[in-house]
Homo-oligomer: A and B are copies of this chain.
Amino acid sequence: MAIKIGILGYGNLGKGVEAAIKKNEDLELVAVYTRRAPESLSIATPGAAVKSIEVLAGGKEAIDVLIICSGSATDLPQQTPRFAALYNVIDSFDTHAKIPEHFAAVDAAAKNAGKIGIISCGWDPGMFSINRVYSLSVLPDGEAYTFWGRGVSQGHSDAVRRIEGVKDCRQYTVPVPEALEAVRSGSNPTLTTAQKHTRECFVVAEEGADLARIENEIKTMPNYFADYDTTVHFIDEAQMKAEHAALPHGGSVIYSGTSSEGTKHVIEYSLKLDSNPEFTGSVLAAFARAAYKLNKEGATGAKTVLDIAPSYLSAKSGEELRKHYL
C-alpha cells in the first residue's frame, strides 16, 4: 500500500514534488489541488485527479499527507495551519524571521486534530539547517558559514522585474571565491552576507527603455542590491529563453570548529542542483514519508526537519539501513 499524497499548488514546486513522487515507489500522487479552474490544468501523472482547493475544506479527501506548495509570503501562513486541522501536512515555509510564529500556529491546529505538520522543509531551511545543527552540536566551539549559489534567486529576479522598463530578469547569487577559501581554511573570518556573495542580473528591457537608468535602479535598490557588488547584463528574449530557462541553485554550509587548543576541524556540506524546485520537491517527498510514519506512531503537532530522525525519511527498514548504509 503506497502512501497517498496530495499536492496543493501546481507551480514550479508542485511540479517538482510530482517528479519526486515518481522516483519513490512507496509514494502515490492521488490528487493535485488548485485555486485555478481544475479543467485548465494538465498534470504529468496519469491517474491522479485535479481538484479545486475548495474540496479540501471538507476534510474528507483520501490522502495520507498534503504537501503544500504555495508561496511563503502570504499563502502558507494561512494554508498550513488551516489544513493541519484536517490532514497531515508539510510545507517549505522559508521566511526565517516568522518561523516561530508559523510553528506555533501549525502546532496548535495539528495537535488539536491529532495530525502532524512539518514546516520549513527544503534545503535552506531544510538540509542546510540539519547540517548547521549537527555541526554545532558536535563542535560547539565553532562557527557556521552559509553560502548560496551559484543559482537563481526568485525574490531578487522578481524585484528587478518590478522596475519600469524591465520585461524579464534572472538574478544569480554567486559566492565570492576568496570568502569560500578563507572559511575553508578554518580561519573563522567575520563576513557579512554581502562580503560572501555577489549578484549578477540578466535583464531583458523593453524597447527604447533607458538602460542606464534601469542599471542604476537595480544597483541602488536597498536590501536587495545596494550593499552588494552587482553586475547587470542586458540580453534579448531569445537569449533569456536559450540560456536561462533552468533554475539551478546550490550552496554550502561550512562549519569550522575547535576541539582543543590548536586542533581544528572543517565540516562542509554542499549542494550542486540542476533544478531548485525539483530538489526542494524531493526533500518534501522524503519528509512527507516521515510525516506519515510519525503520525501512524501517534506523534502529533508541528515538527521541523530538526525533530525527525534520518531513518524516518527512508523507505528502507531499520535492518536494511544498518546493514548497508551505516
| Chain A interface (Cβ < 8 Å from any Cβ of B) | 16, 19-20, 22-24, 96, 99-100, 103, 120, 125, 127, 129-134, 136-141, 144, 184, 186, 258-260, 262-275, 278-279, 281-283, 285-286, 289, 304-311, 313-315, 318-319, 321-323, 325-326
Contact assessment for A310 and B137 in the assembled complex, using a CB-CB cutoff below 8 Å: yes
Q: How far is the CB of A280 from chain B (nearest CB, A)?
A: 10
Contact assessment for B310 and A130 in the assembled complex, using a CB-CB cutoff below 8 Å: yes
Contact assessment for A311 and B306 in the assembled complex, using a CB-CB cutoff below 8 Å: yes
Q: How far is the CA of A136 from the CA of B315 in the complex (A)?
A: 10
In the complex, residue of chain B having the shortest beta-carbon distance to the beta carbon of A321: B306
Among all A-B residue pairs, the 7 with the closest Cβ atoms: A137-B313, A259-B278, A306-B311, A266-B272, A19-B260, A137-B314, A137-B286
Contact assessment for B16 and A137 in the assembled complex, using a CB-CB cutoff below 8 Å: no
Interfacial chain B residues near A321, Cβ < 8 Å: 133, 306
Contact assessment for B133 and A19 in the assembled complex, using a CB-CB cutoff below 8 Å: no
Contact assessment for A134 and B130 in the assembled complex, using a CB-CB cutoff below 8 Å: yes
Partner of A100, one of B262, B275, B310, B323: B323
Contact assessment for B263 and A267 in the assembled complex, using a CB-CB cutoff below 8 Å: no
Contact assessment for B315 and A311 in the assembled complex, using a CB-CB cutoff below 8 Å: no
Interfacial chain B residues near A325, Cβ < 8 Å: 129, 132-133, 136, 144, 306
The verdict on A278 contacting B260 (CB below 8 Å), with A130-B134, A134-B310, A269-B268 known, is yes
Interfacial chain B residues near A132, Cβ < 8 Å: 325
In the complex, residue of chain B having the shortest beta-carbon distance to the beta carbon of A268: B270
The complex is assembled from copies of this chain, and their number is 2
Q: How far is the CA of A99 from the CA of B319 in the complex (A)?
A: 10
What are 7 A-B residue pairs whose CB atoms fall within 8 Å in the complex?
A16-B259, A19-B263, A24-B140, A100-B322, A139-B279, A263-B275, A268-B269
The verdict on A307 contacting B309 (CB below 8 Å), with A268-B268, A279-B265, A325-B136 known, is yes
Interfacial chain B residues near A20, Cβ < 8 Å: 259
Interfacial chain B residues near A127, Cβ < 8 Å: 134, 138, 267
Interfacial chain B residues near A283, Cβ < 8 Å: 138
Contact assessment for A23 and B271 in the assembled complex, using a CB-CB cutoff below 8 Å: no
The verdict on A326 contacting B125 (CB below 8 Å), with A138-B282, A259-B20, A313-B138 known, is yes
Contact assessment for B323 and A282 in the assembled complex, using a CB-CB cutoff below 8 Å: no
Q: How far is the CB of A116 from chain B (nearest CB, A)?
A: 14
Q: How far is the CA of A48 from the CA of B322 in the complex (A)?
A: 35
Interfacial chain B residues near A144, Cβ < 8 Å: 325
Which interface residue of A127, A129, A289, A306 has the most chain B CB atoms within 10 A? A306
